[in-house]
């Protein structure tokens, strides 16, 4: 039997010590990621729900201009959008030429010399995404119905408008300019939203399976490109928002999935969370609350440090040994008592 001597409140300098604020931040990191993320299968706006899962995947639009002050040069910003999941990095491409992990909308600036048709990378501009673990910024998606807009031109339009945040340029500069995207998903019953689609089909890290690639290619081929592009670039410029300058990307995406009666056609999966998911979340929050309250109580009442902060700290430390003993007993039970070494009872 293993005997364990409980450590005193005044632990040695080598003892494990976890400050209460750090413990709180770790325990609540997972729920914050859940709440900050964007679920494209259940877009809720003013009591209406939209499933935009069929628009999954990385799609691209371009902003091309030829400034008068630089004749012979063309500037191209390629915006890559995936409203359902974070963008993947391209295999073999330097990470400096891509937006950081967690980005949903990324703009990459190039300049091209028209005469020689040579391009040069300028910058990668994160527009929107979830970066909670890196700099506590997240997408903070907000959704409104187009008809509820203050603009008169939207009064007769059906669809939903999304405002997506989280980006900043330069990204790691606290004085950088905040970025956001405003995407208007306009109801068009004759469009899937993939017409004229330009996909980012470069090889990616953790790329899609062959079946997934074939499915996306088939959906793209079935879309009628003669109608023109469903996803359109409208503008990108700095605008005034909350008394500060913000880089705002505006896009229009025409699709039947933005119609209020399109929920049955949007796909097989449901946007609502199941019982098991809610059970795991509630169990996690209950455990976190118990550990935080117990640690706070031990810290203030007994001046505990390190492992002694945690409620039932001795049991938690002994858990690996208890599991090992339990596993040994199970194995012995399954294998049986075995041989007695050749001796027989008299």
What is the predicted pLDDT for the residue at 207? 55
The span from the CA of 170 to the CA of 114, in Å, is 28
The span from the CA of 260 to the CA of 106, in Å, is 29
Give the residue-averaged pLDDT of 310-327: 77
CB 286 within 8 A of CB 208: no
The span from the CA of 332 to the CA of 325, in Å, is 11
Quick: pLDDT tens for 2-47.
444 444 444 444 444 445 555 454 444 444 444 446 899 999 999 9
The span from the CA of 136 to the CA of 244, in Å, is 19
Tokens encoding 307: 């492992």
The span from the CA of 73 to the CA of 119, in Å, is 10
What is the predicted pLDDT for the residue at 206? 65
Q: Which residue has the higher pLDDT, 222 or 104?
A: 104
What is the predicted pLDDT for the residue at 19? 54
Which residues make beta-bridge pairs with 178?
Answer: 168, 246
Neighbours of 185 (CB within 10 A): 28
Reply yes or no: is the peptide bond before residue 170 cis, omega within 30 of 0: yes
The span from the CA of 41 to the CA of 31, in Å, is 19
Least confident segment among 5-19, 107-121, 198-212, 252-266: 5-19
3-state DSSP assignment of residue 123: strand
The span from the CA of 249 to the CA of 35, in Å, is 24
Residue 204 has pLDDT above 90, yes or no: no
pLDDT, averaged across the chain: 80
Share of the chain above pLDDT 90, in %: 42
In our burial notation (b when 16+ CB lie closer than 10 A, e otherwise), range 54-68 reads bbbbbbbbebeeeee
The per-residue DSSP string of 254-307 comes to EEGGGSTT-TTTS-SS-SS--HHHHHHHHHHHHHHHHHHHHHHHHHHHH---GG
317 burial (CB, 10 Å; 0-12 / 13-18 / 19+) is: middle
Phi/psi of residue 244, each to 5°? -150, 160
What is the predicted pLDDT for the residue at 36? 46
What is the predicted pLDDT for the residue at 276? 79
Give the residue-averaged pLDDT of 268-285: 72
11 burial (CB, 10 Å; 0-12 / 13-18 / 19+) is: middle
CB 294 within 8 A of CB 24: no
Quick: pLDDT tens for 206-247.
655 455 544 554 555 555 555 789 999 999 999 988 789 999
CB 192 within 8 A of CB 169: no
CA dihedral 328, 329, 333, 338 (to 10 degrees): 60
Least confident segment among 11-25, 58-72, 294-308: 11-25
3-state DSSP assignment of residue 54: helix
Share of the chain above pLDDT 70, in %: 75
The span from the CA of 258 to the CA of 157, in Å, is 11
Query: H-helix or E-strand containing 320?
Result: helix 313-335
Residue 270 has pLDDT above 50, yes or no: no
Q: How many CA atoms lie within 13 A of 150 on its CB side?
A: 0
What is the predicted pLDDT for the residue at 332? 84
pLDDT band at 68 (very low <50, low <70, confident <90, very high): confident
The span from the CA of 223 to the CA of 192, in Å, is 7
* CA-closest candidate to residue 202, choices 78, 88, 63, 83: 88
């Amino acid at each position: 039997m293993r005997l364990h001597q409980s450590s005193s409140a005044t632990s040695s300098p080598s003892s494990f010590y976890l400050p209460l604020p750090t413990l709180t931040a770790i325990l609540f990191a997972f729920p914050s990621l859940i709440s900050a993320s964007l679920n494209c299968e259940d877009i809720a706006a003013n009591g209406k729900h939209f499933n935009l899962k069929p628009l999954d995947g990385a799609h691209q639009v371009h902003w091309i201009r030829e400034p008068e002050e630089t004749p012979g040069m063309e500037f191209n910003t390629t915006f890559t959008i995936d409203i359902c999941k974070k963008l993947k990095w391209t295999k073999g491409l330097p990470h400096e030429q891509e937006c950081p992990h967690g980005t949903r909308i990324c703009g990459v600036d190039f300049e091209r010399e028209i005469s020689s048709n040579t391009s040069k990378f300028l910058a990668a501009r994160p527009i929107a995404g979830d970066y909670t673990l890196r700099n506590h910024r997240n997408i903070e998606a907000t959704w409104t119905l187009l008809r509820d807009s203050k603009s008169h031109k939207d009064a007769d339009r059906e669809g939903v408008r999304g405002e997506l945040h989280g980006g900043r340029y330069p990204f790691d500069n606290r004085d950088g300019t905040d970025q956001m995207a405003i995407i208007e998903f306009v109801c068009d019953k004759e469009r899937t939203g993939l017409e004229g689609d330009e996909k980012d089909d470069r090889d990616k890290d953790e790329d899609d399976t062959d079946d997934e690639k074939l499915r996306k290619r088939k959906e793209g081929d079935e879309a009628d490109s003669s109608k023109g592009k469903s996803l359109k670039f409208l503008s990108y410029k700095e605008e005034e928002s909350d008394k500060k300058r913000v880089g705002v990307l505006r896009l229009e995406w025409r699709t039947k999935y933005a119609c209020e009666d399109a929920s049955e056609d949007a796909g097989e999966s449901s946007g609502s969370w199941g019982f098991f998911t809610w059970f795991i979340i509630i169990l996690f929050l209950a455990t976190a609350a118990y550990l935080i309250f117990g640690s706070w109580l031990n810290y203030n009442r007994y001046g505990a440090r390190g492992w002694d902060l945690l409620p039932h700290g001795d049991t938690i430390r002994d858990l690996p040994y208890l599991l090992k003993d339990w596993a040994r007993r199970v194995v012995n039970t399954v294998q049986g008592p075995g041989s007695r070494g050749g001796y027989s009872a008299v």
